[in-house]
């Protein structure tokens, strides 16, 4: 199973920001998406979940078209999405956040909580009262409630202290290993994420500058020239 991204471009207000992207991304691996600010990483993820209307080209998941502007439908294909900001309901309890996320995917998959002991113990707490790292874990747990085959995450460790960032990344690696759920992650902690990811995609100026195994990338002396 995979994403097939075939000559995809996307624009905001007529301004094209990703150009002619062609990728075949397996949906059961740990894949890192890297690149400078403004290189098109978030836009690529938005295309993959259909969160952007102005998209040209063909994008399929598991053979099914990912339809622009139809996030709810695309989620049903087995794609989870964790946006960078506003990804939990701060005024609701942890449990209610999870219940709402699971609404269209009954019965609720309570086993997800076993992956996150730190939040499993805080079911009654207000989501907004959790630490930054715990809120990110809750956001991931909410995405897992839709029983995705793959989860797309946009900088889930942004703004976190290094130890919390590592905790979140380790949880994601655990999820990938224990459940086989694919992880496609935009991450600014390049060194840590490269260690975890099997595959890297590097965006530069809205185009794919590198796409391949991380082992190959790490062998290259000057991998930074891709950035
Ligand atoms: N909602 C928007 N409206 C107009 N332009 C946008 C919008 N979102 C992104 N852009 C532009 O599209 C380009 C790619 O942005 P994108 O957010 O995909 O980059 P990114 O690689 O995720 O950057 P960052 O690392 O800063 O998150 C940038 O030039 C950005 O200014
Ligand atoms: Mg971004």
Residue pLDDT, tens place only, 28-63: 999 999 999 999 999 999 999 999 988 999 999 999
* Model-wide pTM > 0.85: yes
Pocket test for ligand 1, best of 10, 12, 48 (most atoms within 8 A of CB): 12
Separation of 7 CA from ligand 2 center, angstroms? Answer: 21
Cα–Cα dist 129/125, whole Å: 7
What structural domains does the chain harbor?
29-50+70-226 (3.40.50.300)
Is the distance from CB of 19 to CB of 203 less than 8 angstroms?
no
Separation of 16 CA from ligand 1 center, angstroms? Answer: 11
> Tens of pLDDT along 156-178?
998 888 888 898 899 899 999 98
Q: Is the CB of 157 within 6 Å of ligand 1?
A: no
CA-35 nearest atom, ligand 1: 21
3-state secondary structure of 210: strand
Burial of 86 (0-12, 13-18, 19+ CB in 10 A): exposed
Q: Is the CB of 39 within 6 Å of ligand 1?
A: yes
pLDDT at 222 over 80: no
CA angle 99, 135, 25 (to 5 degrees): 85
């Amino acid at each position: 199973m995979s994403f097939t991204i075939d000559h995809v471009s996307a624009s905001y207000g007529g301004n094209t920001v990703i150009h002619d992207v062609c990728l075949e991304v397996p949906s059961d691996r740990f894949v890192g998406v890297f690149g400078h600010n403004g290189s098109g990483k978030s836009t690529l993820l938005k295309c993959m979940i259909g969160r952007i209307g102005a998209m040209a080209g063909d994008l399929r998941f598991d053979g099914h078209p990912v339809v622009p502007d139809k996030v709810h439908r695309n989620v049903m294909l087995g794609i989870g999405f964790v946006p960078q900001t506003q990804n939990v309901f701060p005024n609701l309890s942890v449990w209610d956040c999870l219940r709402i996320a699971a609404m269209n995917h009954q019965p609720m998959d309570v086993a997800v909580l076993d992956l996150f002991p730190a939040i499993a113990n805080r079911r009654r707490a207000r989501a907004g009262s959790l630490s930054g790292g715990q809120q990110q874990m809750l956001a991931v747990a909410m995405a897992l409630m839709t029983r995705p085959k793959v989860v797309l995450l946009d900088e889930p460790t942004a703004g976190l202290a290094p130890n919390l960032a590592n905790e979140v990344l380790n949880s994601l690696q655990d999820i990938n290993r224990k459940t086989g759920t694919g992880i496609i992650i935009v991450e600014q902690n390049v060194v840590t994420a490269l260690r975890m990811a099997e595959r890297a995609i590097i965006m530069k100026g809205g185009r794919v500058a590198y796409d391949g195994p991380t082992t190959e990338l790490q062998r290259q002396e000057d991998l930074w020239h891709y950035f």
